[in-house]
Amino acid sequence: MQMLKAYCQQKAALVDEALFRLVPRQAGYLATVYEAMRYSLFAGGKRLRPILLMAAADAVGGRGSHYLHVACGLEMIHTYSLIHDDLPAMDNDDFRRGKPTNHRVFGEGMAILAGDGLLTAAFEVMLSQPGVEPGVLLKVVREIAQAAGPAGMVGGQAVDLAAEGKVLDAAALKYMHQAKTGALFRAALRAGALLAGGSNSQVEALTAYAEQFGLAFQITDDILDVTGSEEKIGKPVGSDIRNAKATYVSLYSLEGARHMAREAVEQAKTALDGFGAEADILRDLVSYLLTRDS
C-alpha cells in the first residue's frame, strides 16, 4: 500500500495547489463568502474523487494530472454537498473532519451561500479545462451535472431525508446510496477515462468498477458510523442511529454489512481484469476501503 499512499499524497497535493489558485481569497464585499467557501474546501479532505478521476485517466493510458480543472470541480461539488448536508435542516452536525462545521463558524445563511458558491463555480472551473476537445469536455461536464443533480446526488439526499425514521427495503437503500454517494464516484471515474481518450470497453469496465466502488464505500461508511473512532473520523460516531437513518448495518447487521463490503471489493477488482499494472492504483484503492478508519 506504500505505492497507493505516495500516489494519493502526490495527487492530493496537486489538487490543493490548483484549488488555491482556482478559488482564491477575495477582498471587499466578497471576502466573507469566499472565506466560508475556502474554510470547508481546505478543511482536510482526502480528495478521493479527484484522485479517482486521475487514476482512471492513468489506467487508460493518459496522464491524470492534465485534468486538474475537472478534478477540482468535482471536489468543489463534493465540498458543497458536505456543507449543506451538515446544516440543521439536514443532518445537523457540529463537526466535520475534526473541525466545526461551516454553519457553526459562519452561520446558516452564509454556509448555504458558501455551498451555492462552490457548486456554481465548479462548472466555471471545469469548463476552463485546457487541452481537451470541446465536445469531449461538454460530455464530461454534462455527466457530472447529472451525477450531482436530482437524478444523482441531490435525488439520493432527498430520499435519505424522506426516509428518516422509516424502514427501507434493500432495493430502496441501494437506490438511495447509488444516487447519493455512488453517482459522483461513477462520474469521476468515467470522466477520467473519457478525458484521456479511453476506448468504449475501457470506459464500460471502469463504470462497472465505479458501481462496486461506490457500494463498498457506502457500506464501509455505515460500518464506521458504528465502529469508528470520533478522533479519526473527525465527527461524532452514531449519527446515523441518532437521525434514524437507514443503513447497510441496520438492514443487514454489522457482520452482514462486512460480508457485502468484501463482495463488492472483489467484484470491483474483477471489473479491472482487462487492465494491467496501469490499474493497480484503482485495485489498491478499492481494497483499502476494507481497512479504512476514516
What's the CATH superfamily of 2-288?
Answer: Farnesyl Diphosphate Synthase (1.10.600.10)
Confidence band of 165 (pLDDT split at 50, 70, 90)? confident
Position 270 scores a pLDDT of: 98
What is the Cα gyration radius of the chain? 18
C-alpha cell at 141: 461536464
Q: What is the pTM of this model?
A: 0.94
Q: Which 3 state secondary structure label does DSSP give 99?
A: strand
Q: What is the mean pLDDT of residues 231-244?
A: 57
Cβ pair 191, 70 in contact under 8 A:
yes
Cβ pair 135, 119 in contact under 8 A:
no
C-alpha cell at 247: 443503513
Q: What would the pLDDT profile of 168-223 be if each residue is shown by its tens digit?
A: 888 999 999 999 999 999 999 999 999 999 999 999 999 999 999 999 999 999 99
Residue 132 falls in which region: left (phi positive, over 0), alpha (psi -120 to 50) or beta: beta
Confidence band of 231 (pLDDT split at 50, 70, 90)? low
For the chain, the structural domain boundaries read 2-288
Position 51 scores a pLDDT of: 98
Q: What would the pLDDT profile of 103-144 be if each residue is shown by its tens digit?
A: 999 999 999 999 999 999 999 999 999 999 999 999 999 999
Cβ pair 83, 91 in contact under 8 A:
no
The alpha carbon of 135 is separated from its chain's Cα centroid by a whole number of angstroms, namely 25
Nearest to 140 by CA among 201, 57, 58: 57
Position 232 scores a pLDDT of: 54
Mean pLDDT score across all residues of the chain: 93
Element (H, E) at 191: helix 183-195
Confidence band of 230 (pLDDT split at 50, 70, 90)? low
